[in-house]
Amino acid sequence: MADTLKGETCPICLEKKLSLTEDEMDIPYFGKTFVFSMHCEGCAFHKADIEAAEMKDPCRLTFTIEKEEDMKIRVVKSSEGSIKVPQLHMSVTPGSASEGYISNIEGLLNRFEKVIEDEKENSEEDSAKTTAKNLLKKIRKVKWGEMPLKIVIEDPSGNSAIISERTIIEKLKAKKKGS
């Protein structure tokens, strides 16, 4: 059961309308996990993260979407994890706005679709709109199982997962400082 603390000071609007929530979950094939979130009723600020209860090694997870049923595969992304979709030349890298979440492959693709849709709507260049339209078509084909697509998650904290026996899990080499 989630523990929630209400009436905290929001770091953005400074109103005492922030709720802090901590929840414990047991995710099959992944283990005991803590989900933390902040949400402000005043300014709609939101931040979330996920941590595994036990220390994990830095990892690279590679999964190739091959069929429509793959949309249901569970995805855990920590705030330190980066997601790359090489075929679409897209990536989400960790930063101050990076959030951890639990979703599925379809939810992950929906997040990319939203970014592309926003880009299409806000761009004034026809070439950018055409590129966005083509990317959206490709994502639809992937969702329908008509086109394979590789997703790579790299996580130095080891707190991310793509929960499928087809996921390729590799140790992530630690980056040397200065490189």
Residue 32 belongs to a domain with what CATH number? Answer: 2.20.25
| Per-residue pLDDT, 178 | 45
Nearest 10 degrees: CA dihedral of 154, 119, 147, 155? 10
Tell whether 40 and 87 lie within a shared domain: no
User: Looking at the predicted structure, is the pLDDT value of residue 179 above 60?
Assistant: no
The whole-angstrom separation of Cα 161 and Cα 170 is 12
Higher local confidence (pLDDT), 98 or 86: 86
| Per-residue pLDDT, 31 | 76
> How far are the Cα atoms of 3, 71, 139, 150 from residue 85, in angstroms, in the given order?
35, 15, 11, 6
| Per-residue pLDDT, 159 | 87
| Per-residue pLDDT, 96 | 53
Instruction: Tell me, yes or no, whether 111 lies in a domain.
Output: yes
Tell whether 47 and 90 lie within a shared domain: no
Tell whether 60 and 142 lie within a shared domain: yes
Tell whether 88 and 169 lie within a shared domain: yes
Instruction: Tell me, yes or no, whether 179 lies in a domain.
Output: no
Tell whether 98 and 160 lie within a shared domain: yes
The whole-angstrom separation of Cα 62 and Cα 161 is 10
Q: What is the mean pLDDT of residues 8-23?
A: 94
User: Domain tally for the chain?
Assistant: 2
| Per-residue pLDDT, 93 | 78
Q: Is 44 left (phi over 0), alpha (psi -120 to 50) or beta?
A: left
Provide the residue range defining the domain that includes 13. 1-54
Average pLDDT, the chain: 88
Match 């931040």 to its residue by tokens: 47
